[in-house]
Amino acid sequence: MIYFPKTTNQEIINELARQKNLSSGKYDFDAVWEQLSKDFFNKCYICGDTTTSPRIEHFRPHNGGADKERKFDWHNLMLACEHCNSIKSNDYENLIDCTDERPDQHLRFAVSPVPQVGQHKIVIEQLPTSDIHIDTKNLLDEVYTGTTKCKRIGASVLVENLLEELNDFDDLIQEFQDEKNIDLLSDIGWELNRESKFTAFKRWIIRDSEIYRPLFEGLIKDKL
Residues making contact with Zn ion (CB under 5 A):
44, 46-47, 81, 84
State the nearest-atom distance from the C-beta of 28 to Zn ion, in Å.
18
Taking the least distance from each CB to Zn ion, the nearer of 16 and 47 is 47
Q: Which is nearer to Zn ion, 16 or 162 (CB)?
A: 162
Q: Measured from the CB of residue 145, what is the shortest distance to Zn ion in angstroms? A: 13
Task: Specify the residue, 46 or 200, whose C-beta has the smaller distance to Zn ion.
Answer: 46
Min dist CB 76 to Zn ion, Å, is 18
Residue 48 or 61: which CB sits closer to Zn ion?
A: 48
- Based on C-alpha coordinates, what's the Rg of the chain? 19
Residue 44 Cβ, how far from Zn ion at the closest point, in Å? Answer: 3
